[in-house]
Structure 1
C-alpha cells in the first residue's frame, strides 16, 4: 500500500513540475510586445542587431514547444543559459551563491524544528502560564513581517547591543554562523511561531484524548504515555507543518538576503528581476518550485508513514 501511495505522489509531483516549467517558460511570452525588448532594459530603443542577437540566443523565433523543450532539456543537463546583465553563465552565478542560501535556510530550519517543536510541546503538556506565554509570543511573531523583523533585529542586536554583525555572510563555518544568526532568526521567526502553535494544539488534543486517559487509568507511567501515546500520535501534524515551514523559507530568503546584504540566490533573484535578466529569473524560479514541490511530497510520504490513520490506498 505504501508503494502505491509513493507512486501516486511521485506522479503528482512530476505533473506539477511539468506544469510549473511550462508556466515559467511561457511567462516571457505573456508580456505585450517583443520579449527581446524586456531583456535589453535601460529605457533606450535597442538596435535591430542587438534584438536579432537576443532572438537567436533565446530562440524567441522558434515555435513555443520547440523553444520550451530546448530550454527544459538544457536545464536538466545543468545549462541554464547566459546572463545578459552579469555576462556569465547562470549555472556559475547560482553555484557561487548557493552556499550562503543553503546555510541560511538550513540554519533557519534548525531553529524552527528545534525551538518550535520544543516550545509547542512544553506549552501543550504543561498548560497554565507556559501555554499562555508561548501563545502570546507565537501570536506576536506571526504578526510581524519578515522585513520588519529583519530591521528590528538589526537595530537592537547589531546596532544597539553590538552582539552580532548585521551585514555580509562571513567566511568559514564560524564566520558564517556568526554573520547568518540574525538573518536566520529573522527568516525563522514567524514560521517558528506557527510550528509552535500547531505543535501545542496537536499535543493538547492528544493529552485530552480518550486513549491517554485510559492509559493513565491503567497505571501506565507518565513518561511512557507522553513518549508513546502523546508525542507519537502528534508527530504527523507536527511533521507536516514543519515541512511546510521549511519549504516556505525559500520564499522569505530573498527578502532576508537583501536586508542583510547576503550574496545568496534570493538576492540574485531580486537583482536579476530588477534588471529583467530573464535567464537568471527563469532558472531560480524553476529551482525554487522544484525544491518546494519535492519537500512537500517528501513530507506527505513521511506523514503518511507516521500516521496510520492516513488512507494509503485511497485519497489521502
Structure 2
C-alpha cells in the first residue's frame, strides 16, 4: 500500500505541474489573451476592457491559474472560443473514438509485439529474419504512409474495411477502426518485438535459467516461469511508453481516416487557435500518460516483487 500511495502521490504532483504548464502556454504564445479572444476583430478599448474583466485577465497570473484549476477539478474546462460550446461536453463526445482506437492499437502492440518477439527469440532461422525485417520496416515507415498503404490495399482495392468514419455500435466500430488501429500500432509492434526478442535472448543465457535446465526442469516450464517472466521488465517499460504515446500520435491517424476523435479536434483547434479546447485535450493526454505510467509501475511490482521491496528499503 505504501508503494501504491507513493506512485499515486507522484502522479498527482505530475498532474499539478503539467496543469500549470498547460495553463501558462496560452500566456506564453505571441499576443495578448484578449486578442485571441476577439479572434483578430477590431474592437474598441472599452470592449477589450470588458473582455479582460469577464475573463479575469486583470487578476494576477497565479490567481487566474488557481481559479482555472478549481474549475477543472469541478469538471468545468471552459468554453470554446470558436463555437462557444462547453469544452467538457465537446471533448467528452470525442473521447470514445480515441479510446477505442488507442485501446485497439494497444492490444495489437501487446499481443503481436510480445508474441512475435518471443517466437523470434526461441525460433532462429527464417522466421527470426522475417520478424527482424518487419521490425526494421516498422521503424522506417511513417505512420501516415502506413495508413495510406493500408487504405489503398485493404480499403480501396480489396474493400475489406472502410476507410473513413468511426462506425456505430461495438462490432461496427471495431470494423471501422481495424485499419486505423493497425496503422497506429505498427511502429509500436516493431519496437516491442525487437526489445522482447533481445530481452528473452539475454535471459536465456542467464545463470538461473541454465541452472534450472541443468536440474532437469522441463524446457517449457523454464521458458514461461523463468525466461519470459524475468525478461518482461524492460518489455513492460517499452510497452508503457508506446501505449502512452498512442494518444499523442493518434491525431495523424484520425486525420487520415477522418475519425471524430480528440486528435482531429486538437488539430482543428490548434489551427483556429481555440486555446480552451487545446488546453483541455492537453490535460487529457497528460492524465492518460500519467495513468499508463502508474499502471506500468504497478506491473513492475507484480512481475518482480523485488522492485517493490527495494523501493521500500530505500525509503526506510
Q: Above 0.5 in TM-score? A: yes
In structure 2, which of residues 281, 292, 295 is the aligned counterpart of residue 295 of structure 1?
Answer: 292
- Following superposition, the deviation at residue 267 of structure 1 comes to 0.8
TM-score normalised according to structure 2 size? 0.93
Secondary structure of 1:312's counterpart equals helix
Aligned match for 1:244, one of 238, 241, 244: 241
Cα distance change on mapping 1:216 and 1:66 into 2, 3 Å: same
Q: What is the aligned partner in structure 2 of residue 40 from structure 1?
A: 38
**1:102 is matched with which residue?**
99
- Match of residue 268 from structure 2: 271
Conserved? CA contact 1:123–1:130, under 8 Å = yes
Counterpart in the other structure of 1:197: 194
Mapped contact 1:119–1:196 kept (Cα < 8 A): yes
Write out per-residue CA displacement over residues 276-304 of structure 1, whole angstroms, 9 at most, x where no aligned residue.
11111111101111110121122123213
Deviates most, 112-121 or 301-310: 301-310
- TM-score, normalization: structure 1? 0.93
- Residues paired across the two proteins, number: 312
Distance in 1 between residues matched to 2:47 and 2:294, nearest whole Å: 43
The C-alpha deviation readout for 1:224-272, integer Å capped at 9, x for no partner, is 1111111121122222221211111011111111111001111111111
> Pairwise mapping of residues 11-30 of structure 1 onto structure 2 (< 5 A)?
11-30=9-28
Deviation at 1:49, TM superposition (A): 5.7
Cα separation, 1, equivalents of 2:305 and 2:17: 31
Distance in 1, matches of 2:118 and 2:165, equals 35
Q: 1:73 to 1:143 in 2, by over 3 A?
A: same
What are structure 2's unaligned runs of at least 5 residues? none
Whole-angstrom distance in 2 between the partners of 1:36 and 1:91:
22
Match of 2:8 in 1: 10
Aligned to 1:184: 181
Residues in 2 aligned to 1:51 and 1:187: alpha-carbon distance in whole angstroms: 44
The offset of 1:85, in angstroms, is 1.1
CA positional deviation for 1:46? 4.2
Cα distance between partner residues in 2 of 1:40 and 1:175: 42
Match of 1:60 among 57, 62, 65: 57
> Does the 8 A contact of 1:236 with 1:304 survive in 2?
no
- Name 2:113's counterpart in structure 1: 116
Q: CA 1:155–1:21 in structure 2 vs 1: closer, same or farther (change >3 Å)?
A: same
Partner of 2:140: 143
Question: Unpaired segments of 5 or more residues in structure 1?
Answer: none
Question: Is the contact between residue 37 and residue 46 of structure 1 (CA under 8 Å) also seen in structure 2?
Answer: no
Query: For residue 283 of structure 1, what is the aligned residue in structure 2?
Result: 280
Aligned to 1:70: 67
Q: CA RMSD in A?
A: 1.8
What is the CA deviation profile of residues 100-135 of structure 1, one whole-angstrom value per residue up to 9, with x for unaligned ones? 111111111111111111111111111222221111
- Whether 2:142 is the aligned partner of 1:130: answer no
**Separation in structure 1 between the aligned mates of residue 150 and residue 44 of structure 2, nearest angstrom:** 48
